[in-house]
A and B are shown apart, each in its own frame.
Chain A
Amino acid sequence: MCGTCGCTTVTVALEQRVLARNDDLAAVNREWLAERDVVAVNLMSSPGSGKTTLLERTIADLAGDPVVSVVEGDQETSRDADRIRAAGCRVVQLNTGAGCHLDAGMVAAALRDLAPPARSVVFVENVGNLVCPALFDLGERHRVVLASVTEGEDKPLKYPHMFSAADVVVLTKTDLLPHLDFDVDTFVRNLAAVNPRATLLRLSATRGTGLDAWTTLLRAWVGWMNGAFVHLR
């Protein structure tokens, strides 16, 4: 009954996945990137874990081999895009306003603006947030989650959706370890409890320690090994 005139209602089965539209757009992005031999990395963490600092250092260390371009996601301002541009890299800033995450549609438009060259890496720096971005596939090939040593060892247990979806977890700001109670072994155990398959890297982007494993991994992802192009697909 509709409550107004006493008419009846009819049940219509929909059986529709709510994120189907985003996932379809993500699939289009994935195909678009694969056709161009571009590796997209969805970079996620809480605010202040060092995503932008890691990108600045990565751009400098890779030195164009491979080429890096960046999609910057923030609620407001182009501060991060300015930093990435200053590091000598193509960048598109996305401002989500009230939004707490990037979605595949936003990234689709940004990718077309960026027009990344073949055999390059596109980093999508997601909005700093350990909750919402975990649910939205952007069409990336790899999900990298950062956690800084100032955040505490229990982050993987508190935010299991984010950490369980990562294929790489990067523990950042390790130069601060002597000043903190952070126990790396406890963090490793907590990560293993939610995601035993993730690769864990430890580094300090400001001191430049531990960066070799990261840049080696990135070069492997785009198929550059020892300077020779290797087609991984």
Chain B
Amino acid sequence: MHELSIVQEVVAAITERLGDSRIAVVRLEIGRLSGVVADAVRFCFDLVAEGTTVEGARLEITEPAGRARCRACAGEHEAEWLVVPCPACGSVDAEVLSGKDVRIKSVEVVSACAGPADVPP
């Protein structure tokens, strides 16, 4: 369950970058070749966010396919999974070009929230 460590890093990185700002939405990009399971990330997100500025935030995840370059014929192809035979020559000896990263794309920060107590009557 390395996803727990991944989510802890996500929450730590956001609170480090944005201080006390309250977060309404977290957008993650989990590459299909990353070895990180989006459902497992969703499973532990609320638990890790509890008690932080990220608590209650909505989690949006995109899972882009990867790209690989065949070492046999030098052709590039899309890779939905780590081991995909080259569609041109069938070789599985490929260099992964993208799709292994997990990234925090962006967050929605609640701006100037007065809170109900500060709203004048």
Number of contacts between A and B (CB, 8 Å)? 108
DSSP majority for the B interface?
mixed
Cβ of A7: which chain B residues have Cβ within 8 Å of it?
110-114
DSSP majority for the A interface?
mixed
Chain B CB within 8 A of A17 CB: yes
Cβ of B28: which chain A residues have Cβ within 8 Å of it?
18
Indicate whether A9 sits within 8 Å of B105 (C-beta atoms), given known contacts A16-B13, A21-B9, A99-B5: no
Indicate whether A132 sits within 8 Å of B107 (C-beta atoms), given known contacts A5-B113, A7-B113, A197-B93: no
Contact A160 B83 (CB under 8 A): yes
Chain B CB within 8 A of A19 CB: yes
Contact A12 B106 (CB under 8 A): yes
Indicate whether A14 sits within 8 Å of B106 (C-beta atoms), given known contacts A132-B1, A135-B35, A196-B92: yes
Chain B CB within 8 A of A4 CB: yes
A contact residues, range: 35 or more
Closest to B114 in A: A5
Residues of B within 8 A of A (CB): 1-2, 5-6, 9-10, 12-14, 17-18, 22, 24-25, 28, 34-36, 82-83, 91-93, 101-116, 119
Residues of A within 8 A of B (CB): 2, 4-5, 7-22, 99-101, 103, 131-132, 134-136, 160-161, 164, 192-194, 196-197
